[in-house]
Chains A and B, each alone.
Chain A
Amino acid sequence: MNNTAEAPQQLEAISPISGAKVVFPTDAEVGELIDDPETGDELEIVSLNPPQLAPAPEEEEDWGE
């Protein structure tokens, strides 16, 4: 169970894949996926405070509708 708080503005974190600086969208949510600006890999926003990223989990066979 986690928070429902709105994201602060202009958060950024370092990509764990490329080391590049990644700017979060202003309405970022924990669990949202964003692209690494250098490699294009998907990253998951795992925290807003402090802003943190992790490699996105790999898509599994039962995902989606």
Chain B
Amino acid sequence: MSSPRVGVLCSLVRPEEKLLFQAFREQGVLFDRIDERTLLLNAYGNTRRQYDVVLERSVSHSRGYYAVRYLQGIGTRVVNTFQTIECCGDKALTTMALSEAGVPIPRSTVAFTPESALQAIEEIGYPVVMKPVVGSWGRLLSKINDRDAAEAVLEHKKVLGNYQHSIFYIQEFVQTNCSDIRAFVIGNECIAAIRRTSQHWVTNTARGGVASNFPVSAELNDICIRAARAVQGDVVAIDLFETQDGYLVNEVNSTMEFRNSIHTTGVNIPGRMVDYVRSILNEEDQTLQHAVGV
């Protein structure tokens, strides 16, 4: 029996990973699980790659980031790449990449001191949203409605937070009636999207947002593909605001969660992800055949 050519990097198994394992098995793709808690990234000696493709599904951004960098360094094709994980894991870097690529985004600023952050907030105008540059599941987001709140949040972040909380990421608050769009991109296609609606301005389904199907239009597909390319993403989830002037890309996620979107959209998202991994394996085979003149 041949060795698996595919690895799945993960430790804890969320519903997403369970669905992916099922999809790999249904499609007859052998895979190994790589638990990053057991990894030693030996930066010496001649380490040969063990897998042709690794799908990164670590619940921990930091562990996934270093493990993927290492795997790429020994010649492994990883979905998503280190470059994508690095960019998507930091909201300031994501914003810069999207802006440089001409993708529409909300007005956003990064400041390094409470004084300059307050200046930026007042230039954008209340209300604004302040986010940690590295953070997830909608944690520690602040909607700041006036100067009193701004001064309080800035002082708290400066005094109580670690150094990363003094990288002040400020974004205009986009009025959307507590809803946003979450779109799923695999390769060159936006395969599905949902609308998330909440009683709260934070709409993450991890925070109680309710999902409904949102048909993928040509316009939505176009902006999502542009956003995915801006971060060099293979498989990414894109959060957008729908405004009267069109879509604005809010965030791009490189280890996407989709448990609430399969039934809602009718799209077999884990199956499509496995299709994508298989397409990379086929490309590797063709490259190898070409190299040896078959």
Q: Which residues of A contact B (CB under 8 A)?
A: 1-4, 6, 27, 29-33, 44, 56-57, 60-65
Contacts and interface: CB of A to CB of B under 8 A. Distances in A.
Interface string B4-45: 100100111110011001101100001111110010000000
A62 B30 contact: no
B62 A32 contact: no
A51 B89 CA distance: 35
Contacts, number: 73
Given A62-B60, A62-B136, A27 B18 contact: yes
- Interface residues of A: mostly helix, strand, loop or mixed? loop
Contacts of B261: none
B211 interface: no
Interface in B236-294: 237, 253-257
Contacts of A6: 25
A64 B206 CA distance: 9
14 contacts: A1-B7, A1-B32, A4-B21, A4-B24, A4-B30, A4-B31, A31-B11, A57-B12, A62-B61, A62-B135, A63-B60, A65-B255, A65-B256, A65-B257
Interface of B: 4, 7, 10-14, 17-18, 21-22, 24-25, 30-35, 38, 50, 59-62, 89, 134-137, 139, 206, 237, 253-257
Nearest to B252: A65
B161 to A, nearest CB: 11
A64 B33 contact: no
Nearest to A1: B32
A31 B60 contact: no
A31 B137 contact: no
Contacts of A29: 13, 17-18, 21
B105 to A, nearest CB: 18
